[in-house]
Amino acid sequence: MFKLPSWRGSRKRNRNKPVSAPVRTAPSKLLDGRQGDADKPGIRRRLFGGLFDGVDWGRARINLVVALFCFFWLALWGRAWYLQMIAGPHLANRAERQHTATELVAGRRGMILDRNGQVLARSVEALSVYANPQEIKDFLKMANTLGPILGQEPQKLYDELSRSRRRFVWLKRKVDDKTAEAVRKAGIEGIGLSKEFDRVYPFTHMAGQLLGFVGLDDKGLEGLERSLEARLGSIPARRVVQRDAMGRRFYLDEEGNAAPRGEDVTLTLDAQIQFIAEDAVAAVAKEYDARWSGALVVDVPTGEILAWAQYPFFNPNTYRDSSPAIYRNRLAADALEPGSTFKPFVIAAALQEGKITPTTPIDCENGRWETKRFSIRDTSVQGVITASKVLRYSSNIGMAKIGLELGSRVFHDYLRKLGFGERTSVPVSESRGILRPARDWSEVDIMSTAFGQSISVTCLQMAQAYLTLLNNGVYKPLRLLRDNGAVQETYQRVFNERVCKQVMEMMRDVVEAKDGTGRRARIEGVEVGGKTGTAQKADHRTGEYGSKRSASFAGFVPASRPRYLIFVMVDEPTRNQYGGVVAAAAFREIASRALTWSGALGAAEQEKRQEETRPAATGRQRGLKVSREDVPYMAENDDAASSSGSGMRLPGHLSRASSKVPDVKGKSVRYAVELFARAGIVPEIKGSGTHVVRQSPQPGTPWPEEGKAASYILWLSEK
């Protein structure tokens, strides 16, 4: 039977023991709550043996807090000192690498200007598309979106970028604005646009071979762009860019504000005369079906090159579409045998050495001279003629005999002084030509060199030599750059002034004389001097002279005081091969239009008429006789003329306008415009040429009443 515990029994057993009374606590002490604190001193005594008896524990706690605060404050300052002084440079370097990026910036190339400030070449901002394959997340989407925009195959774009481990890949350089905007709007991650500079040539093909072009990296590859790279190209500068925590660039510091820039270069070229020269060489090359043609126009008083024309034209804006044969600067790089245009220098050297005089008789062997080694032929049959006529008739036989009189060493020294066999001072890539040492010359070499064979020269060297001749025999370097300040140059005299005047007079007869070979170079109203040249070209396959020719003409105007020197070269013309026909006509076109443009033609005409009207006692009259039709127009009702009864006629720019439209048919365009300008009329010019062939309204028509507009047209052509 389960029984409950007998706790009652236990209680009975303890009933007889005395029970202690419970301890009662005073109510005031329980409410005060200090019962525990009363026991603490006892605890401290038992633990520390009375060591801290009498300590003010409230103040002790405050001091402890202050001590801890000072400790941590000193610890923080110590850490800061360590980071600033010990670990500072290392941490700053790491922070700079993390939050900044450096870029090498090429900058903008300098401009190329003509003498009047016309821009021939300049750099404009362009954008190029690049990719960072490491940041591209969806290559398939990128390729399908970007391929049509850039005109590239998506599959090729996908394969190229998805397999690349590089962080920078060019996709397309220097795109147009429309493509750049499409790329920007696409917003493809990992695809960006970078600013570059693109080279632009506003006048397209004008002086294209001379200017050259630059590549994708903005470095000059041909022409002046290459030879003047040190001045035109900008020195790369380092630019610092700051980045945020995401690596995005957001700030450009002061080092990048001053973008590098190349130096501007001003040429001596005149854009208008350059256009005239290019128009003429293109026309002659097309008319005579030539391989190429070119012309140099030089301002004689200063030695500055005003035009550098070459055909076929080359457009530097689209240089990838042209072959090296097109953009080759042949006027400086191609060395050819000069032919008869070389003869004036031989004549000048012989005159300087006293070997001949202008009246020295020379036997030209009736057009054929058989020597021991070879035979020489002339295009005309001449017997004994003076030395001056040897140049007029361009006799190879006469020149060969003059060359033998000079001798190889003296002959060679003069050619060296004139600049043959050496590069000129013009900053272009040019050939030295071929001028063998005098010790290697045989008798045959002396004779053939005297009439322009056995020697190779460039058109630039020929212009330099003729400039020396026209500068009274003093070597003056050609100039293509218009630098600031005076240029200190040492000039060397090659010929004396008397010799130069004699040779220039002979060259005047080449053009102005009835039997001269350069008659086609004549310009109405101004005297011209020049020399024709027709050189055989060697066949490289056979090693002998073939049937191909190069036609040239070197001329200057006016003949008495040269203003312009013009050298024209037409290589391998097929319809006609003579320099007196092919190149002389191009010279005439360039010279007449250049004189008209510069205003020198009117002054030359007036000076020539003054010479022709001098009394006979002053000596023989020089120049061509001017017909009455070429006398300047005399205004009707000219009171001064009527009162004197002399019938004096004033030049067009001094005459007063008549009451009716004058007859300007057959007159030069400059003279006609001056006549219309007297009446306050600016006529419209149509066609090309130097003379008026038709006009509207017809001569004799009254001028329009004041306030009423009228159209006046002048049609031009060659006379």
Q: How is residue 352 annotated by DSSP?
A: H
The answer to whether residues 223 and 211 touch, using CB atoms and an 8 Å cutoff, is: yes
Q: Does 20 qualify as catalytic in the annotation?
A: no
Burial class (CB in 10 A: 0-12, 13-18, 19+), 642: exposed
Q: How far is 670 from 652, CA to CA, in rounded Å?
A: 9
- Can you tell me the distance from the alpha carbon of 356 to that of 397, in angstroms, rounded to the nearest whole number? 15
- CA-to-CA distance for 2 and 100, rounded, in angstroms? 92
Angle at 562 between CA 560 and CA 566, to 5 degrees: 130
Residue recorded with tokens 């007079």: 505
CB 343 within 8 A of CB 452: yes
Q: How far apart are CA 519 and CA 132, in angstroms?
A: 70
For tokens 């293509």, the residue is: 480
Measure CA 535 to chain center: 32
Residue closest to 161 by CA, chosen among 124, 179, 197, 135: 135
Q: Which helix (H) or strand (E) holds 405?
A: helix 396-406
Q: Which helix (H) or strand (E) holds 396?
A: helix 396-406
Cα dihedral value 183, 188, 192, 198, nearest 10? -20
* Alpha-carbon span 696 to 715, nearest angstrom: 9
Could you identify the residue written with the tokens 């917003």?
187
Report the alpha-carbon distance of residue 664 to residue 685 in Å, rounded. Answer: 13
Burial 437-456 (b: 16+ CB within 10 A, else e): ebeebeeebbbbbbbbbbbb
Tell me the one-letter amino acid at 246: M
User: How is residue 633 annotated by DSSP?
Assistant: P
d(CA 578, CA 394): 12
Distance CA 585, CA 574 (A): 16
Strand 684-687, strand 713-717: pairing = parallel
Q: What gap in Å lies between CA 153 and CA 388, rounded to an integer?
A: 73
Q: What is the CA radius of gyration of the chain?
A: 48
123, 234, 293, 340: which is the annotated catalytic residue?
Answer: 340
Distance CA 366, CA 381 (A): 5
Angstrom distances, CA of residue 601 to CA of 381, 670, 690: 37, 8, 11
652: its two tokens: 């067009």
Residue type (1 letter), 674? E
What letter does residue 703 receive in the DSSP assignment? P
Cβ(296)–Cβ(419) below 8 Å? no
* Gap between the Cα atoms of 403 and 438, Å rounded: 13
Q: Quick one: CA dihedral 387, 391, 397, 403, positive or negative?
A: positive
Among 515, 466, 473, smallest CA distance to 344 is for: 466
CA distance 237 to 242: 17
Residues catalogued as catalytic: 340
